[in-house]
Structure 1
């Protein structure tokens, strides 16, 4: 966002990634996930793109670490599609080993026994968080159940929290995933739900300089229109930026509903963006329907 646009509207920061807007739904999901973690479960936390699940997961990990009742572990690997069980076990070794030098055996039998010993020494439940878990291979998901059982047999307790898009939930419910799906506690995070207007007021107050009121930069009608058309914090933040930039071009202050109407995408609710927000890109759709890429492209265009 251009600094001259921010200066014109009195913005101290762009209205994106403004922080954590907590609702009762956020608090309830957090309580439910924490209770499941204490029970040593395989957990899936799913939400559409831009709903705030990453921030929710980050705060949940921070709360658990601050309380000290659970040891928090997390895989830092960027390429989630290539994450395998050995990589997740390596994350546990790095987070549980008290020594500065981490030694991980290349022999699977030795590695599993060493891992059991680490859990016995930890004397606390462990929660392993896996982000973007919708990209994990089905074989890796199935292996996670066995990892929890391995730790339990050694006298430890492990919970694994899979954070991902709704595709993860749907994959776990497929018949061939019954072995793990029926043993997974699934929590669906609904994001803002019906609090879009409250979020708009909050993010504007968090972004504007002291002394600048939300009504000075955005009319009530414009804010109501944004709340009616958009669902997630990411969508709202992006469209606020677009509205400020478009308003600046014509010198509009405050921004009226007409400017907002002009920047709203007509394709916002079409099939392809809806599927993308739920975690279904071209590759995953090809695998889901056992189809050719050209057929999926035709489907998304409405030509199939």
Structure 2
């Protein structure tokens, strides 16, 4: 039915394949990031699942590469829970300009000295990006500070940009993480607010045939409902696609409020998905609340004893989610 939906509404590409949409808030964050990168240190960029962190960072990286004033490096390892400082050293060396026959030393002392030698030759600030940093082990986070100091000893500038869920910022604010948290500059990509209606109209315009009127695809009231009930671009593209498929199936053009109501999940903004968007899945909650998986399940189902549930509520409230 997907292909029929695309044809029925005059769409030429998937909604999540639209170009970069930049809000004023995002512009402000990127401007601040650019200034922070030139001074070195640790930067954290946080945002809930689907808010657009990866797209913002890709856009930012492209700008840095175009200006050619900063060397851009990044970690590609996907399982950040297994990433250690050795993995990150390998990622950093991989993106720095090195001779063709260069091999990363396996002995730590020699590796660090080779890195310092390379930094002196490059003579440019380095921006090192780590996406999914909310899953990094605390020992790895501490070691990143030492990596920065190694490069500073060679008169170089290294900025480590850690990108992740709001859990990352909360973890770094813990007293036990003061060694790195107190040194980090924290930036946040907040929800889109009044920009959501504009985004829906923009994405429909950019994904449909030329001269197609947006309101011939989705009514203004349906757009307002989507903007009211949804939070992130990821949600918007997902549920808007579902609405268009349902509309094509029923022969409804444009998609109206009634169609949108049928595809929106009633559990969309309950506590469990809210916590997940902030980076607190069951595993993370077990660690944070010092609880068993069965207790977490009972908590979400309203079956946990009142006193224990109140303890959970207090701890979650501290995270800024309740």
Instruction: Provide TM-score, normalisation by structure 1.
Output: 0.97
Residue in 2 that maps onto 1:107: 107
Cα distance in 2, alignment partners of residues 149 and 194 from structure 1: 42
Residue in 2 that maps onto 1:214: 214
Deviation, 1:259, is: 0.7
Residue in 2 that maps onto 1:87: 87
Residue in 2 that maps onto 1:165: 165
Pairing 1:17–2:11 present: no
Pairing 1:186–2:186 present: yes
**Contact 1:165-1:278 within 8 A present in 2 as well:** yes
Residue in 1 that maps onto 2:252: 252
Cα distance in 2, alignment partners of residues 100 and 154 from structure 1: 23
Cα distance in 2, alignment partners of residues 217 and 122 from structure 1: 53
Residue in 2 that maps onto 1:68: 68
**Contact 1:40-1:159 within 8 A present in 2 as well:** yes
Cα distance in 2, alignment partners of residues 86 and 142 from structure 1: 13
Cα distance in 2, alignment partners of residues 84 and 238 from structure 1: 34
**Contact 1:48-1:278 within 8 A present in 2 as well:** yes
Cα distance in 2, alignment partners of residues 54 and 31 from structure 1: 17
1:265-304 equivalences in 2 (<5 Å): 265-304=265-304
Cα distance in 2, alignment partners of residues 53 and 19 from structure 1: 14
SS state of the match for residue 198, structure 2? helix
Cα distance in 1, alignment partners of residues 5 and 102 from structure 2: 50
Residue in 2 that maps onto 1:46: 46
Cα distance in 1, alignment partners of residues 141 and 15 from structure 2: 37
Residue in 2 that maps onto 1:139: 139
SS state of the match for residue 285, structure 2? helix
**Contact 1:26-1:191 within 8 A present in 2 as well:** no
**1:261-290 deviation per Cα after TM superposition (whole angstroms, max 9, x unaligned):** 111110011011101111111111111111
Cα distance in 1, alignment partners of residues 65 and 101 from structure 2: 22
- Segment of structure 1 superposing worse, 160-169 or 86-95: 86-95
Cα distance in 2, alignment partners of residues 174 and 224 from structure 1: 39
Q: What residue ranges of structure 2 are gaps of 5+ in the alignment?
A: 305-322
Q: Which runs of 4+ in 1 moved over 3 A?
A: none
Residue in 2 that maps onto 1:125: 125
Residue in 2 that maps onto 1:224: 224
Two-structure CA RMSD over aligned residues (Å) = 1.1
Instruction: Provide TM-score, normalisation by structure 2.
Output: 0.92
SS state of the match for residue 274, structure 1? helix
**1:26-84 deviation per Cα after TM superposition (whole angstroms, max 9, x unaligned):** 11100111111101120000001111110000011110011011100111112111111
Cα distance in 1, alignment partners of residues 94 and 131 from structure 2: 17
SS state of the match for residue 16, structure 1? helix
SS state of the match for residue 17, structure 2? coil
Deviation, 1:106, is: 1.4
Residue in 1 that maps onto 2:240: 240
